């Protein structure tokens, strides 16, 4: 019989200060693929696990620029190439008249790209995650804090990782099946 693959090792903590201290020690120990779960946002926790990169602003900027260019080019194409109509003697490429639609397209594309970029970067929708296989994980919505070291981390070794998590003072340690 083939053994079930392991997603990682999960440690449970009682307080926010305990998990922040444990996350800092985990990063200092060289673990890179780490995640933490808490019932409320903890500012220091994201910094402690080394989460600094956020791609949503860049995706929003690119979406806004594409919307701006698309809105302007659409109006320019219609008024100068596709259907040129001389209205009141104005030139076909009357860019000041294009500003309201260009602005609106910028906002629309930036907003939509922010929403869809956030969903994609967060891996949503995700109706299933391996941490749901651990029965104690249900406590994360109430008053418990969890730290997971992924098995894909280069430093992960089942015995050494368990011993390391025990040294952090974890209340309980569980293997997370995939």
Contacts of 59 (CB under 8 A, 6+ apart): 113, 114, 117, 121
pLDDT in tens, 121-157: 988 998 899 999 999 999 998 899 999 999 999 999 9
Report the C-alpha gap between 81 and 163 in whole angstroms: 71
DSSP character at residue 54: -
Domain ranges of the chain: 6-53+128-177, 56-121
Single pTM value for the model: 0.75
Give me 79's structure tokens: 């008024």
pLDDT in tens, 86-101: 878 888 888 888 999 9
Q: Quick one: pLDDT at residue 1?
A: 61
Report the C-alpha gap between 68 and 94 in whole angstroms: 16
Q: Quick one: pLDDT at residue 54?
A: 86
Measured in degrees and rounded to the nearest 5, phi and psi for residue 67 equal -65, -40
């Amino acid at each position: 019989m083939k053994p079930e693959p392991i997603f990682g090792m999960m440690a449970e903590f009682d307080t926010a200060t305990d998990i922040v201290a444990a996350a800092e020690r985990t990063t200092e120990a060289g673990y890179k693929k780490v995640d933490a779960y808490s019932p409320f946002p903890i500012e220091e926790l994201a910094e402690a696990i080394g989460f600094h990169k956020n791609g949503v602003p860049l995706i929003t900027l690119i979406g806004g620029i594409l919307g701006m260019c698309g809105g302007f080019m659409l109006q320019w194409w219609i008024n100068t190439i596709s259907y040129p109509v001389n209205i009141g003697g104005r030139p076909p490429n009357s860019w000041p008249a294009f500003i309201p639609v260009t602005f609106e397209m910028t906002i629309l594309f930036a907003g939509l790209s922010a929403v869809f970029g956030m969903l994609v970067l967060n891996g949503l929708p995700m109706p299933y995650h391996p941490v749901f296989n651990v029965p104690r994980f249900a406590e994360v919505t109430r008053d418990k804090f969890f730290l997971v070291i992924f098995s894909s981390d280069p430093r992960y070794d089942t015995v050494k990782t368990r011993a390391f998590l025990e040294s952090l003072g974890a209340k309980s340690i569980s293997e997370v099946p995939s």
